[in-house]
Structure 1
Amino acid sequence: MTPTRSRWPLTLALCGGYFLVLLDVTVVNVALPRIGAELQADAAGLAWSVDAYSVPLAALLLVSGAIGDRLGHRLVVLLGMACFGAASAACALAPGIGVLIAARVVQGIGAALMLPGTLALLVESGSDEASRSRLVGIWASIGGAALPAGPLIGGLLVQSAGWRAVFWLSVPVIAVAIVPVARLPRSAPAPGHGDVDAAGAGLLMIGLACLVTAAIRAPEAPLAAGALAAAAVGALLGLAVVERHAARPVLAVPRTARRPLGLAALVAGLMNLCALGGLFLLTQVLQDVHGLSPLAAGLLTLPAMLPLPLLGAPAGRLAARIGLWRTGALGAATAAAGMAGIAAALPDAGAGAVPLALSLALWGSGLGVLTPAIVGAAMKAMPESPGLASGASNTARQAGGALGIAASAAIAGPSHAAGFVVRTSGALLGGAAVLVLAAVLCIAVSRQEKAPS
């Protein structure tokens, strides 16, 4: 497909689907009080209305990406879109918390089927390396804006139309987005790639589901989290055994691609660990400490949100000029500086203070540069299997985000406790240090790539 105007409906559809997948990670949080009041849900039920989406999303990403490489991404993305749209409507119509949780599970499954293929189809539509880098930048920037946009969009919808509007939002968007994807020509599986290692896929899903659930439940139920972590280790060890003897393993990663793909996934996980952990604490400080409404708190995060969709394309051009890993290092270092600034501003600055706004903008700018660079590095590691590469990167990001929220909650404690803001600042400084580590990793990889063999 040539880079002409005819490609834009597909680009917007795939990026719109990715935006919705990530938006639903955070948009529901601001609706929880009203969901609890109307559906008479307790704290555990509300927690699971969030986690029931995150767990299948993280558990299925790698498998769905690998299956898309085998069976064709068009088919998997269409199935995911249909599943996501139908489940969103079911969430909006839920008469009780049990139905809502069940619908959120199905929504997470649809999101996992959709997400890796959106990037794979975009990369396949690029005519050359430069156009593919631009498309990855657009995809990453639009998706990156979804996480901080969640509180803002959720606040607007909840205050103006009620909590059910948070879920109704996805239905018309998916209905429009599915059309250009359906118009793509059907692609036959590559010879010998139509089969899927069911045992390996099952063990991978179980291992990732247990791992992410352990991270989510660790602050409230450490013993259960420990048991889940042990089950995850057992499943992943079993996966290693099964994959060694499988004719076509679900994680068919060539030896030369393992290191760059693994490092790209590691940096992606560290990025989301800091981003979602920081956002989780920041929204609590703004609402519970400073007393802002969900809408006002969302508006105050705009300096962090606005750079994300604006910097994707420039970051892609910068990566083409200086390299993906150097661009990633620049983004990580910038985000670290912004996160340290937020940590310094929180204890003394009131909501809306200039130092806080500037630090938020710096943080968002760094993430806007880092995200497309590290996604591009993952895709470059395995150009012949874009679904698996996308799945690996996004799985790391989802797992990193779950770990970041769990760690942040454990470090800062409840928002009503004394010293919460000070502990939050400490957690943010820790996140800045993690981003510095990510920048160092990116520089090290860049230097090794340039070293003579």
Structure 2
Amino acid sequence: MKRNVLIVMCAGLFVVLLDVTIVNVALPSIAADRHAGLADLQWVVDGYQIALAGLLLTGGTLGDRFGHRRVVLAGFALFGVASAGCALAPGVGALVAARAVQGVGAALLLPGTLAVITRTFPGGKERARAIGVWAAVGSAALPAGPLLGGVLVQTFGWPAIFAINVPLIVVIFVAVLRVAPADVPEPRPVDLPSTVTGAGTLLVLTYAVIEAGREGPDWRLFALAAALLAAFVLIEKRRESPMLPLGLLRRPSIAVGTIGSAIMNFGINGMMLLITLYLQGVLRLSPMTAGAALLPLFAPLALLSAPFGRLVARHGPRLVMLAGLVTLAVGMGLLLLVRAASPYLVLLPALTVIGLGAALLTPSVVALAMSDPPPGREGLVSAINNTARQAGGAIGVAVFGALAGTPGGPRFIGGLHGAAALAGAAYLGVTALTLTVGLTTRHHDKTLV
């Protein structure tokens, strides 16, 4: 019974995380088929990530309040319907809207899959193994996305990357009904004003950056984003039970781990957009070949996260985190060697080094954030860390796309270099922060990596 619950929850996690990377390979095909510009493609990616980042904390709260099994089922249903909407979308606007609904479904079910596993496996070692399997499945979804996406796009067309979700979600939904145990809801309030202002901040900021790349900066949009952020902070300070207790971020380990998570995805997700467009829009590779070409970027994360997680448990997160940050900065520096006429072999070392840096950084930033939580706040700190990753990725896609412009355009390669330099500088900035801030790491729990 317990094993079946783990299999079903991991299968659902795999399908949802697959959509994080599978869509990138399809972007050039979507652009050609729907006459979409770069800003439209950025929204195809960010519509999903903004909804996921903006509602992830709320999804966990809803699971506590109404029962995680029930909310997981609602999330799968919404994700499946939205996937069908993506496949059938007649235009880019409908596709972006459906992608946003996908993100809402993912925000509902992702916290719940881990919560259901945690409650199904109450023992320490048993729970650690189950969470390890859950994390490994999540890592495996990342390299699978470009490979599967390339095959589907080239064989059946881009709608297939969304259509394939529908029968899979139906099977998983039925399986959850059969095997997942019901849980007892907890009377937790839903912080709607914080959800609206927090998600609104990310949405307006992303829109402002994307529009700046297309039409030039509109400072009124940036001012609105700042006002929404100020409102979010004010609301959180005045609430007795805030969605995001700001006092948690005054703990150095949580703050640095959260910043590291955001900057990690800022650089990797933003650069993944540009590299995908470079492979198909500049080198003219087919979707299948481009998907295979991205494998060095994701394979280290899938293959090495567990060994590097053991390094974190043995030596502490700080040293491994520093190694990951420096490795990522070096990988971004190697991208400066790429030119419009460069063969793939020039790009390959950069992708491999970036993938290695991501494999080092992923377990260490989580472990650092989770090394000093207040008692009873472990789940919330983990959710904050995941939210930071998704938000950082959404902003990275917006910023890097604005810098590079259209693939094959006069400023694309220069913009790619500028984006790589910006990402490298950001990683070195977090390196300096990690070296200078006094960090408290009372324990290194292998279940967190």
Same fold? TM cut 0.5: yes
- Which residue is equivalent to 2:208? 214
The 5-angstrom pairing of residues 144-155 of structure 1 reads 144=139, 146-147=141-142, 149-155=144-150
- Residue 366 of structure 2: which of 360, 365, 375 is its match? 375
CA deviation after TM superposition for structure 1 residue 139, in Å: 4.3
CA deviation after TM superposition for structure 1 residue 445, in Å: 5.4
CA deviation after TM superposition for structure 1 residue 266, in Å: 0.8
- Residue 77 of structure 1: which of 72, 80, 84 is its match? 72
Is contact 2:283-2:341 (8 Å) kept? no
- Which residue is equivalent to 1:363? 354
- The code of the aligned residue for 2:55 comes to L
Is contact 1:273-1:403 (8 Å) kept? yes
| Residues 138-188 of structure 1: CA deviation (Å, up to 9, x unaligned) | 545543454555443222111111222111122233234345644333332
CA deviation after TM superposition for structure 1 residue 393, in Å: 1.7
CA deviation after TM superposition for structure 1 residue 268, in Å: 0.5
Return closer, same or farther for 1:367/1:83 CA change in 2, 3 Å cut-off: same
| Residues 409-440 of structure 1: CA deviation (Å, up to 9, x unaligned) | 34334332346435423432432332233344
Q: In 2, distance between residues paired with 1:194 and 1:290?
A: 52
Is contact 2:325-2:361 (8 Å) kept? yes
- Which residue is equivalent to 1:200? 194
- Which residue is equivalent to 1:433? 425
| Residues 188-238 of structure 1: CA deviation (Å, up to 9, x unaligned) | 244xx43223333333332333233334433124445x3333223222322
Is contact 1:197-1:249 (8 Å) kept? yes
Q: Gaps (5+ residues) in structure 1?
A: 1-5
- Residue 241 of structure 2: which of 241, 248, 272 is its match? 248
CA deviation after TM superposition for structure 1 residue 110, in Å: 0.6
- Which residue is equivalent to 1:388? 380
- Asked if 1:61 corresponds to 2:56, the answer is yes
Q: In 2, distance between residues paired with 1:242 and 1:227?
A: 22
CA deviation after TM superposition for structure 1 residue 87, in Å: 1.3
Is contact 1:137-1:315 (8 Å) kept? no
Q: In 2, distance between residues paired with 1:213 and 1:140?
A: 32
Q: Secondary structure at the match of 2:213?
A: coil
Q: In 2, distance between residues paired with 1:395 and 1:237?
A: 18
Is contact 1:61-1:113 (8 Å) kept? yes
- Which residue is equivalent to 1:162? 157
- The code of the aligned residue for 1:321 comes to R
Is contact 1:196-1:248 (8 Å) kept? no
- Residue 416 of structure 1: which of 408, 423, 428 is its match? 408
**Alignment RMSD, CA only?**
3.4
Q: In 2, distance between residues paired with 1:140 and 1:162?
A: 31
| Residues 60-95 of structure 1: CA deviation (Å, up to 9, x unaligned) | 123223333444433332221121012112222334
- The code of the aligned residue for 1:287 comes to Q
- Residue 187 of structure 1: which of 183, 194, 199 is its match? 183
* Residues 205-214 or 106-115, more deviating: 205-214
Return closer, same or farther for 1:44/1:326 CA change in 2, 3 Å cut-off: closer
Q: In 1, distance between residues paired with 2:202 and 2:340?
A: 40
* Residues 375-384 or 112-121, more deviating: 375-384
- Residue 338 of structure 1: which of 323, 331, 339 is its match? 331
Return closer, same or farther for 1:449/1:55 CA change in 2, 3 Å cut-off: closer
Return closer, same or farther for 1:175/1:314 CA change in 2, 3 Å cut-off: farther
- Which residue is equivalent to 2:343? 351
- The code of the aligned residue for 2:181 comes to P
* Residues 59-68 or 251-260, more deviating: 251-260
Q: Gaps (5+ residues) in structure 2?
A: 443-449
- Which residue is equivalent to 1:3? none
- The code of the aligned residue for 2:369 comes to A
Count of residues in correspondence between the two structures: 441
Is contact 1:215-1:402 (8 Å) kept? no
Is contact 1:57-1:111 (8 Å) kept? yes
- Asked if 1:172 corresponds to 2:173, the answer is no
Instruction: Give the percent of matched residue pairs that are identical in Structure 1 and Structure 2.
Output: 42
Return closer, same or farther for 1:407/1:92 CA change in 2, 3 Å cut-off: closer
Is contact 1:13-1:176 (8 Å) kept? no
Q: In 2, distance between residues paired with 1:97 and 1:413?
A: 18
- Which residue is equivalent to 1:261? 254
